Homo-oligomer: A and B are copies of this chain.
Amino acid sequence: MEKRNLYLTNIPVEEALERFQNALSPHLKIENEDIEVIHSLDRVTAEAVFARVNSPLYDCAAMDGAAVVSAHTLGAGEASPLTLKQGGDFMAVDTGDPIRPPFDAVIMAEDIQEKNGGKIVIRSSAAPWQHVRPVGEDVVQGEMILPGGHKIRPIDVGVLLSGGITRILARRRPEVAVIPTGSEMTEPGEELKEGGVIESNSRMLEALVRQCGGVPSRFAPVPDEYGLIKERLKDAAERFDMVLVTAGTSAGRGDYTVHALRELGEVAVHGVAMKPGKPVILAVVNGKPVVGIPGYPVSAYLAYENFAAPILKFFSGVSGLPEAGAPVTGMPVVRAVLTRRLVSSLKYREYVRVKVGKIGERLVASPLARGAGAAMSLVRADGFCVIDQDSEGVEAGTEVNVALCRGLDGLENTVVSVGSHDLILDVIADMMPNVYHGTRLSSTHVGSMGGLLALKNGEAHIAPTHLLDEETGVYNVPAVKKLFAGRRMALIKGVGRAQGIMVKKGNPLGIAGIEDLSRSRYVNRQRGAGTRVLLDYRLKAVGIDPSGIVGYEREAATHMAVAAAVKDGGADAGMGILSAARAMDLDFIPIGSEEYDFAVPTEFLELAHIRAFIGMLKHPDFRRKLEELGGYTVECCGEVVFLP
């Protein structure tokens, strides 16, 4: 247990960025290069670009027709047609053809009657300069076409070329070394040994650098050997404009990065008051910025966005060095109502990933998993809710700023589902946009009761639920009626699901039913989950005390997470649905069937995207997929039951 970096600093985000920039500013310089306009898409102009020629180049015809001398057409009219001779009187022109003296006007082809012998007849006079585009009408020589620091779009390519410009001075694209470290790192596709980790962060960083206009070079993973790590960092800081080094930034035993950076250059910051992302390192080696990126994927993403992206954008020339304080650099911000209370530490600024939905006229933001390792929360996220360092949290129902990481174009047509998870939600989310173009299903998984509460608070359109009423043995109807007293509600009927006990293949402990659970190490679902309600109901029925079951307090959030715990051997048994057991190749001891339905306020039933959702439940492709998955019955699937 040596060389642990136990005592990271806890510097506020803005101050950290400022320290980094101060350490860098004597060294940072922008370089430019001369490039061809035809290859300039997405490049950034190094200086203002001025037109070299006029566009159009000369007075020219704005229409197809005949060029005429306007003064000679005076008097032409319906009653007094005028005949003009080719050459002296008129010249046939197409759009864009030059109009030269004596000609000073164009008559449209549609207004011309052609005669033999190169003659035409016109029936109205031409005003001077009619249908003539004057020289330089669009671009005048010497006029600024683009300012400096402008990212070139397709239309700019066209106008630059029209303006006589074939080469421009652009910012050189910064070259960025991406160095993964850690002896446990295993290249994707290679066999994973116990303790091994798939090296994926460097590939995400490569893509982020590319998106930012940089040119990434990814190194092979460097094992935890001090000399090797130091050598690679030294080499990279010599050859590249910037270095991103992943993992090895925390307090682990093999974390050599910061020591190596201290010997090679200056460590401006090690430890920032942000969460996730705290153990970031900001250093300068050989005058080059080096960012030590923490190993957890969400930490890695946020460390990149907050500290690497601003420096890269500076190199790329999109803008000057950012002013500190942007929540997550460059993301557009919307206001949305927070659906759940967020408690946060005064020690950190926290970046909570949220899904954003539109319920009625309100934008709502639902927090996703908050762990630094929850990479899927980034995949699912629509944006970030940033909780300031000096805040202890935000109450539910508060309007908050959400920094968006994806466009919200489709929001009007997105079904917001909050509640119990089932694989059929994944299937619908995948199929629905193709079957009902433009619609989307956004699904958050908080268990049945959590979903109904979200629905009640106006945070969802539908709540997938499978809640058994212990008194009547009836599913869903009693729970919804009780919670939504006085409100007009319906159930969109979903599927019947086989619930049971999942055990390792071959059922090594010989578990036959819930009576045997006390012989196992169990993994349970969270409070309010329908599966847990069912277990409690059955345990009570047979008179078993849950406290006697080892692992009853161990909670997993979804059927699949329970199945994974059993598969991995950390638990012997867990309750869940057949499709989860099948997906994970586990044995399944059926306990009973349950009804998995969707609670919905009746006012939402007429929304086009809710109708699309109901349509999906009845769709033959969806039914076919259910058969593949197994364990589902679909007698009433897609029917709407209005609750009295």
A contact residues vs B (CB 8 Å cutoff): 1, 4, 6, 37-38, 41, 47-48, 53-59, 62, 64, 92, 94-98, 101, 109-110, 114, 128-129, 133-149, 153-162, 164, 166, 184, 188-189, 192, 194-201, 203-208, 210-211, 250-254, 295-297, 300-301, 319-323, 330, 332, 369, 371, 373-376, 378-379, 407, 409, 423, 426, 429-430, 433-434, 437-438, 553-554, 556, 558, 560-561, 563-565, 567-568, 570, 580, 583-584
Question: Would B153 and A207 count as touching, CB distance under 8 A?
Answer: yes
Question: Would B297 and A154 count as touching, CB distance under 8 A?
Answer: no
16 more A-B residue pairs beyond the given contacts A136-B568, A145-B376, A157-B206, with a C-beta to C-beta distance below 8 A: A1-B92, A38-B206, A48-B430, A57-B196, A58-B194, A64-B253, A134-B561, A134-B565, A135-B568, A136-B564, A138-B373, A140-B560, A140-B561, A144-B423, A154-B205, A161-B198
In chain B, what residue has the closest Cβ to A156? B379
Contacts of A253 in B (CB 8 A): 64, 92, 94
State whether A41 and B583 are in contact (beta carbons under 8 Å apart), knowing that A6-B109, A375-B155 are contacts in the complex: no
Question: Would A252 and B379 count as touching, CB distance under 8 A?
Answer: no
State whether A565 and B135 are in contact (beta carbons under 8 Å apart), knowing that A41-B210, A207-B153 are contacts in the complex: yes
Contacts of A210 in B (CB 8 A): 41
Contacts of A563 in B (CB 8 A): 136, 140
Question: Would B375 and A203 count as touching, CB distance under 8 A?
Answer: no
- Would you list 13 pairs from A and B whose C-beta atoms are within 8 A, ordered by A residue? A6-B109, A41-B211, A59-B568, A95-B295, A128-B553, A128-B554, A133-B371, A134-B556, A139-B376, A140-B563, A154-B301, A158-B203, A332-B407
In chain B, what residue has the closest Cβ to A410? B319
Question: Would B109 and A188 count as touching, CB distance under 8 A?
Answer: no
Question: What 6 A-B pairs are tightest by C-beta distance, nearest first?
Answer: A136-B564, A142-B583, A158-B204, A154-B207, A161-B200, A94-B252
In chain B, what residue has the closest Cβ to A59? B570
Question: Would B56 and A373 count as touching, CB distance under 8 A?
Answer: yes
Give the complex CA separation of A437 and B162 in angstroms.
Answer: 31
Question: Would A188 and B161 count as touching, CB distance under 8 A?
Answer: yes
Contact of A430 among B147, B160, B194 (CB under 8 A): B147
Give the complex CA separation of A148 and B429 in angstroms.
Answer: 9
Contacts of A196 in B (CB 8 A): 57
State whether A158 and B200 are in contact (beta carbons under 8 Å apart), knowing that A95-B252, A373-B137, A433-B147 are contacts in the complex: yes
Contacts of A110 in B (CB 8 A): 6
- A61 vs chain B, min Cβ distance (A): 10
Give the complex CA separation of A563 and B341 in angstroms.
Answer: 65
- A347 vs chain B, min Cβ distance (A): 13
Contacts of A434 in B (CB 8 A): 148-149, 320
Tell me whether chain A's interface is mostly helix, strand or loop, or mixed: loop
Give the complex CA separation of A189 and B59 in angstroms.
Answer: 21
- A52 vs chain B, min Cβ distance (A): 11
Question: Would B136 and A560 count as touching, CB distance under 8 A?
Answer: yes
Contact of A204 among B53, B157, B189 (CB under 8 A): B157
Contacts of A184 in B (CB 8 A): 96
Question: Would A1 and B114 count as touching, CB distance under 8 A?
Answer: yes
State whether A251 and B109 are in contact (beta carbons under 8 Å apart), knowing that A48-B430, A147-B430 are contacts in the complex: yes
Give the complex CA separation of A199 and B157 in angstroms.
Answer: 11
Give the complex CA separation of A532 and B195 in angstroms.
Answer: 81
State whether A376 and B159 are in contact (beta carbons under 8 Å apart), knowing that A136-B561, A584-B141 are contacts in the complex: yes
Give the complex CA separation of A322 and B437 in angstroms.
Answer: 8
Give the complex CA separation of A172 and B375 in angstroms.
Answer: 27
- A156 vs chain B, min Cβ distance (A): 6
Give the complex CA separation of A104 and B96 in angstroms.
Answer: 80
In chain B, what residue has the closest Cβ to A381? B155
Contacts of A423 in B (CB 8 A): 142, 144
Contacts of A58 in B (CB 8 A): 194, 568, 570
Give the complex CA separation of A198 and B164 in angstroms.
Answer: 8
In chain B, what residue has the closest Cβ to A224? B94
In chain B, what residue has the closest Cβ to A120? B1
Question: Would A159 and B41 count as touching, CB distance under 8 A?
Answer: no
Give the complex CA separation of A296 and B138 in angstroms.
Answer: 11
- A45 vs chain B, min Cβ distance (A): 9
Contact of A379 among B62, B109, B155, B376 (CB under 8 A): B155
Give the complex CA separation of A164 and B199 in angstroms.
Answer: 10
Contacts of A320 in B (CB 8 A): 433-434, 437
Contacts of A138 in B (CB 8 A): 297, 369, 371, 373-376
Question: Would B157 and A64 count as touching, CB distance under 8 A?
Answer: no
Question: Would B114 and A188 count as touching, CB distance under 8 A?
Answer: no
Contacts of A583 in B (CB 8 A): 141-142
Contact of A297 among B162, B206, B565 (CB under 8 A): B162
Question: Would B143 and A560 count as touching, CB distance under 8 A?
Answer: yes
Of A62, A154, A161, the most chain B CB neighbours within 10 A belong to A154
Question: Would A140 and B558 count as touching, CB distance under 8 A?
Answer: yes
State whether A139 and B375 are in contact (beta carbons under 8 Å apart), knowing that A128-B554, A161-B188, A429-B144 are contacts in the complex: yes
- A539 vs chain B, min Cβ distance (A): 20
Contacts of A580 in B (CB 8 A): 142
Question: Would A437 and B373 count as touching, CB distance under 8 A?
Answer: no
Contact of A301 among B109, B155, B195, B296 (CB under 8 A): B155
Give the complex CA separation of A300 and B556 in angstroms.
Answer: 56
- A419 vs chain B, min Cβ distance (A): 17
Give the complex CA separation of A215 and B546 in angstroms.
Answer: 62
Contacts of A560 in B (CB 8 A): 136, 140-143
Contact of A54 among B64, B141, B564 (CB under 8 A): B564
Contact of A375 among B48, B55, B204 (CB under 8 A): B55
Give the complex CA separation of A98 and B570 in angstroms.
Answer: 11
In chain B, what residue has the closest Cβ to A436? B320
Give the complex CA separation of A71 and B144 in angstroms.
Answer: 75
Question: Would B426 and A143 count as touching, CB distance under 8 A?
Answer: yes
In chain B, what residue has the closest Cβ to A47? B430
